[in-house]
A = this chain, B = another copy of it.
Amino acid sequence: MRIAILGYGNLGHGVECAVRQNEDITLSMIFTRRDPASVSPVTKGLPVYDVRDIESHLSEFDVLIICSGSATDLPEQTPKYAKLTHVVDSFDTHARIPEHFDAVDRAARSSGHVALISCGWDPGMFSLNRLYANSILPEGQTYTFWGRGVSQGHSDAIRRIPGVRDGKQYTIPVESALDAVRSGSNPELTTRQKHTRECFVVPEVGADLALIEKTIKEMPNYFSDYDTTVHFITEEELKAHHSGMPHGGFVIRTGRTGFDKEHSHVIEYNLKLDSNPEFTAGVLVAFARAVWRCASEGQRGCKTVFDIPPAYLSPLDGAELRKNWL
């Protein structure tokens, strides 16, 4: 099975790496909206094409993994390319998933392709765990915590503040809240009780540090509802200690069973990721395999992780999975 990548940022590079770890999959090419000559994949000799030329390469790959942003790119690109080929994306604007699904489904059905949207870890693996856990324990409560990890959106917000040269923001789940959830006490938790935010800021020379700190902590939507800590550091410190993209989180469901609901249960799924984009890429590649399998069966239309039989993610056949993995 042959993969093509559209968009060579952190996620596209992650897919490039992930394909190398899957023997049954090869990476055919990268498409870009930039000047192809300006894109240098780590894989020696890998072709890079202008995405405007994609139609002349459709016979050279099986599934296109679209590695663009959710804000404006994916709503336009995924339906557009689902008309031409089988596609996978990581669309993560939760509130707009239904309309994105509908647009992609129309495009994929009319052209006879399979598309899979909103793939990654949240939405993605976390969604799957919420669904399984809720189906098994119908009476209970589900909690999702994120972190400890770098939030790109919050880091961007810090960097837009006057006097800030660079910065990184970490989202951190509150340990005592996690413990309360795991105890099965079904706590009602406010935004402030679930997560804290920690900022590492490189100020411009002569900047008003007190004002920067105040501006961060009072920023509506991003920080004002959280307990936020601000550290001022040097550019060298930022580079040395905060250049990675770690992330992770927890999905916990607690629920009760028994004729009189006398027993309690805790289901927990958690991730600790050194590299958010590389892990997301691993999920995308496994689901690209599933998309290709669905396409080979003659299926068409848009799907999500909820619609894919787990066996389709594996290169192993059913007999081997039952023998060694069940």
A278–B304 contact, CB under 8 A? no
Residues of A whose CB lies within 8 Å of any CB of B are 13-14, 16-18, 20-22, 42, 94, 97-98, 101, 118, 123, 125, 127-132, 134-139, 182, 257-259, 263-275, 278-279, 281-283, 286, 289, 304-311, 313-314, 318-319, 321-323, 325-326
A135-B314 contact given A98-B319, A322-B101, CB 8 Å threshold: yes
Contact residues in B for A131 (Cβ distance below 8 Å):
310-311, 313-314, 321, 325
Contacts of A265 in B (CB 8 A): 271-275, 279
With contact pairs A306-B309, A307-B309 given, residues A326 and B257 touching in the complex (Cβ less than 8 Å): no
| Cα distance, A304 to B316, chains bound together (Å) | 15
Q: Is the pair B274, A263 in contact by a Cβ cutoff of 8 Å?
A: yes
Q: How far is the CA of A263 from the CA of B318 in the complex (A)?
A: 31
A22's nearest neighbour on chain B, judged by CB, is B138
Chain B residues in 8 Å Cβ range of A137: 279, 282
In the bound complex, residues from chain B placing their C-beta under 8 Å from that of A270 are 266-268
Q: Which of B139, B264, B279 contacts A274 (CB 8 A)?
A: B264
Complexed CA–CA distance, A275 and B279 (Å):
34
Interface hub of A258, A305, A308 (most chain B Cβ within 10 A): A258
Question: How far is the CB of A271 from the nearest CB of chain B, in Å?
Answer: 6
* Residue of chain B at shortest CB distance from A285: B136
CB distance from A275 to the nearest CB of B (A): 4
Also in contact, A21 and B139, with CB within 8 A (given A306-B310, A311-B306): yes
Q: A14-B257, A258-B275 are in contact. Are A304 and B286 (CB under 8 A)?
A: no
**Cβ-neighbour of A271 out of B18, B101, B266, B308 (below 8 A):** B266
Check B97 against A323 for contact (C-beta < 8 Å): yes
Q: What's the nearest-Cβ distance from chain B to residue A198, in Å?
A: 21
